[in-house]
Amino acid sequence: MSVSPSINTYPDIGEFAFGNKGRILISIFLYLELYFVAIEFLILEGDNLQKLFPNAKIHFGCVKIVGREVFVLLVAIVILPTTWLKSLGLLAYVSIGGVLASIVLVFSIFWVGAIDGIGFEEKGVIWRWDGLISAISMYTFCYCGHAVFPTICNSMKDRSQFPKVLFVCFILSTITYGSMATMGYLMYGQNLMSQITLNLPTGKISSKIVIYTTLVNPITKYALVVSPIATAIEDKLPLRKSKFIVSYFIRTFLVISTVIVALTVPFFGYVMTFTGALLGVTVSILLPCLCYLKIKKPSYLEVVFIGMILVFGSSVAISGTYTSLKNIISHV
């Protein structure tokens, strides 16, 4: 971004480096990543609500909908009107809410383990080579914030402080993820599920706090995730007079399509692994390196180091995508 003042967004970086093709490529991966995050939100909601209300079912004539499917559909109906809103002025408040929710989750999980009798004494296999790629892919998914970094930098009053902001954010995120992973392993060992909320006893107040906090976040953030996709589609449409109506149709269609995918592939862990391996690695590791090599004039040492990152990232992307797709297909 220091090279040109015209760079304001991540796609701008792609265009500056590789022309219009670079902008299109980065945009595709960015919007696909957001799309799959929206799907993950629905899967998460369905899984956790089913845990709270395992006997839920709805009858539509001869059609009976049970379990997770009921809640995915109900959540979609609740969030659909929020996707029609185009004002994102509450984004900062929602972001603060997300930070507070993360803190509440970590402390509530600790409370369940330390105070409510679960304990931290489970033991299992500490290191599994066959799970390494999946683990890296999942953690990559957790660090998929690169898409908004240019926007954050441009919105800062003092842009020189941006490296410090990144440093603090990455340190705090690593501590949070590491704490959750460690506590989950020590509490449930090899029996830990793709979401620790699915392991928690629903009778405890602390467990209910964790689950309900987990449920609130996706409902408030789904529209924020889908909005950039809808806006990008709307900007490409030649229509002007009927664009208002078309906007409603596009956003409704996006919700319906994510519901269909969430019901067809309701595997939270595998979908997260796929998203992290294919899209997260590409957006957060491969494309930044390629753009840097194209725009800057790196030293020999930088080229060697970046080359190692590209080899590592490509290996994770290929093997992680293959592993996750294999797991998804076998379970479907």
| Residue 201, pLDDT score | 85
Residues 6+ apart with CB under 8 A from 277: 133, 137, 140, 316, 317, 319, 320, 321, 323, 324
Integer Cα distance of 224 and 98 in angstroms: 12
What are the tens digits of pLDDT across the range 271-289?
999 999 999 999 999 999 9
Confidence of residue 126 (pLDDT cuts 50, 70, 90): confident
Integer Cα distance of 165 and 140 in angstroms: 19
Type of residue found at 307:
G
Q: Cβ of 147: how many Cβ atoms within 10 Å?
A: 19
What are the tens digits of pLDDT across the range 129-153?
888 888 899 888 888 877 778 877 8
Which of 43-47, 232-236, 326-330 has the weakest average pLDDT?
Answer: 232-236
| Residue 240, pLDDT score | 60
Largest Cα span, the chain: 69
Confidence of residue 171 (pLDDT cuts 50, 70, 90): very high
What are the tens digits of pLDDT across the range 59-105?
776 777 777 888 899 999 989 988 887 655 555 566 677 778 888 88
Confidence of residue 312 (pLDDT cuts 50, 70, 90): very high
Backbone angles phi, psi at 120, to 5 degrees: -125, 55
Integer Cα distance of 270 and 242 in angstroms: 40
Between the two ends of the chain, the Cα-to-Cα distance in Å is 44
What are the tens digits of pLDDT across the range 18-42?
999 999 999 999 999 989 999 999 9
Q: Cβ of 113: how many Cβ atoms within 10 Å?
A: 21
Going by C-alpha positions, the residue among 15, 77, 79, 226 that lies closest to residue 234 is 226
Mean pLDDT value of segment 203-222: 83
Going by C-alpha positions, the residue among 1, 39, 66, 61 that lies closest to residue 271 is 39
Angle subtended at Cα 91 by Cα 88 and Cα 94, rounded to the nearest 5 degrees: 135
Find out whether 121 and 253 touch, Cβ atoms under 8 Å: no
Find out whether 271 and 43 touch, Cβ atoms under 8 Å: yes
Instruction: Give the burial string for 149-179 (b: 16+ CB within 10 Å, else e).
Output: bbeebeeeeeeeebeeeeeeeeeeeeebbee
Burial classification of residue 289, based on how many CB atoms lie within 10 Å of its CB (0-12 exposed, 13-18 middle, 19 or more buried): middle
Q: Which long-range contacts (CB under 8 A, 24 or more apart) does 202-209 make?
A: 202/51, 202/52, 204/112, 204/116, 206/108, 206/111, 206/112, 206/115, 206/116, 207/108, 207/112, 207/116, 209/104, 209/108
Find out whether 198 and 184 touch, Cβ atoms under 8 Å: no
Count H helices, E strands: the chain? 13, 2
- pTM here is 0.86
Q: Which two tokens stand for residue 258?
A: 């994510």
